[in-house]
Amino acid sequence: MSFERRKVRVGTVVSDKMEKTVVVEVEWRRVHPVYKKAVRRRTRFKAHDEAKISKTGDVVRIRETRPLSKTKRWSVVEVVTAGDIAEIQPDELGVPQEQPVEATTTTPEGAAKA
């Protein structure tokens, strides 16, 4: 397969937890054949990222390649834009936590309590 004929997609990195592999979600639209409404579809690809250049939230360009594992058939070419994913927890921002509700039991009037 020549380099010119390889497919290229642009998508968002949704997971970078694996070694040298990222999961890229590509969104595409198609008009429904009966209802003529635009339908949004998403496809997830596992892509090889040797240098670990992409992080969760980044928009990356991936290219089709030879099979590298059972499910990995793509490789990361470049990071188009870096994503801004907050790594700050809500308690660090001063957001109040929800208080747990205590369970109370009610007894009907006149019932004997044990």
d(CA 62, CA 74): 6
pLDDT tens string 42-95: 999 999 999 999 999 999 999 999 999 999 999 999 999 987 766 666 666 676
Could you tell me if residue 56 is inside a domain?
Answer: yes
* Residue 38 counted as domain residue: yes
67 lies in a domain?
yes
Expressed as residue numbers, the domain containing 80 is 3-85
Tokens representing residue 91 in the block: 């308690």
How many domains would you assign to the chain? 1
Q: What is the CATH number of the domain that holds 45?
A: 2.40.50.140
Name residues whose C-beta falls within 8 Å of residue 38's C-beta, 6 or more positions apart in sequence.
29, 30, 31, 32
Amino acid (1-letter code) at residue 35: Y
**Is residue 95 assigned to a domain?**
no
Q: CA-to-CA distance for 91 and 95, rounded, in angstroms?
A: 6
* Domain contains 103: no
d(CA 79, CA 58): 7
